[in-house]
Amino acid sequence: MNYLARKISFYVVALWAALTLNFLIPRLLPGNPVEILIQKLAARGPITPELRNSVELLLGDTSNDPILVQYWSYLTGIFSGDFGVSITYYPQPVVEIIAQALPWTIVMIGIGTIIAFLVGITLGMLAGWKRGSWLDNLVPVTTMFQAVPYFWLALILLYVSAVQFKIFPVSGGYSYTGAGPSWDWDFISSAIYYGTLPALTIVISSFGGWLLGMRNMMVSTLSEDYIVTAEAKGLRPTRIMMAYAARNAILPSVAGFAISLGFVVSGSIVTEQVFSYPGVGSTLLQAVNNNDYSLMQGLFLVITLTVLGANLIVDLLYTVIDPRTRARS
């Protein structure tokens, strides 16, 4: 309980610091959301003082208020789910835009990251257990894919599988000729079909790193005294590999996996740009290009929460998979 209380206290403080930075950074940037929207509206006709006042009220402009009043309004808006109105998608609220973009990124990049982790850990465990085997000799080949720039690998796979052989679609998140997003099988199957190539690219480019890390940790763990003792007791090789070697070798990879999961949301910009895939990455890029501070604030907050949440879950999971953590606490 003491360990749990310390961890939760740390993440509460980290969340407050992240919220404060999220409040300060947009206000230090040049420009004003009201002026940006006024400039867009000016192209359609004259701007009256009444219209400017309406835009200020709509966007919740508090730039003339004291900084503490602005900070309090910001916190109350965050905890009530009010992130303001997006300039890029005016007059759609920021919450609705994030709710539409987030599932695409979580499903496609999240599943790709999890598959890459499981494949890499499994193959790395076997390669470390059977050193010198054909699988162990393939480790340099798999790590080569991680060394290749991701966007270059994505473009090559896109050209070969989508342009040349037409196995997968060139761009998009689903078939736009059918109905919009829904829970019927036609849309789900279309989304799976369109998301397979981006997810496959993530798996190919990242599983080599997990494989190499797990393989090296297995080799190091197999030289420990408790492995020799387990072999001397006559335990089955499978049990030694799974319960003794792999369980301890996987601990550093679990910590790295938490960081990878946390950056699933923020690490999607290149993927979604190459494949023209709808999601948080493309939405964030549009927000930056249009100086949409409200949308940027909302997206940065979601990214912060995913990073902190993933690390908190893994910290708590460590108490289950590593008894030494409980002993130290």
pTM > 0.75: yes
Neighbours of 3 (CB within 10 A): 15
Domain parsing of the chain, residue ranges: 99-326
The amino acid at 180: G
- Cα–Cα nearest to 179, from 171, 167, 170, 191: 191
Which CATH number applies to 99-326?
A: 1.10.3720.10
Alpha helices in the chain (DSSP H): 2-28, 33-42, 49-59, 67-79, 94-105, 111-129, 134-137, 139-147, 150-158, 185-221, 225-232, 237-239, 247-249, 251-262, 269-274, 280-289, 293-321, 323-328
The amino acid at 142: T
Cα–Cα distance for residue pair 214/251, rounded to 1 Å? 9
Residue 85 main-chain phi, psi, to 5 deg: -110, 140
Return the biggest CA–CA distance within the chain: 87
pLDDT (tens, 9 = 90+) of the chain, 329 residues, equals 777 788 888 888 998 998 888 888 777 777 667 777 777 777 777 777 877 777 777 666 666 667 788 788 888 888 888 788 887 887 788 888 988 888 888 888 888 888 999 999 999 999 999 888 888 888 888 888 888 887 888 888 888 988 888 888 888 887 766 556 777 777 788 888 888 888 888 888 889 889 999 999 999 999 889 899 998 998 899 999 998 898 889 888 887 887 787 667 666 778 888 888 888 888 888 888 777 778 888 888 888 888 888 888 877 777 777 666 655 55
**pLDDT at residue 122, rounded to an integer:** 94
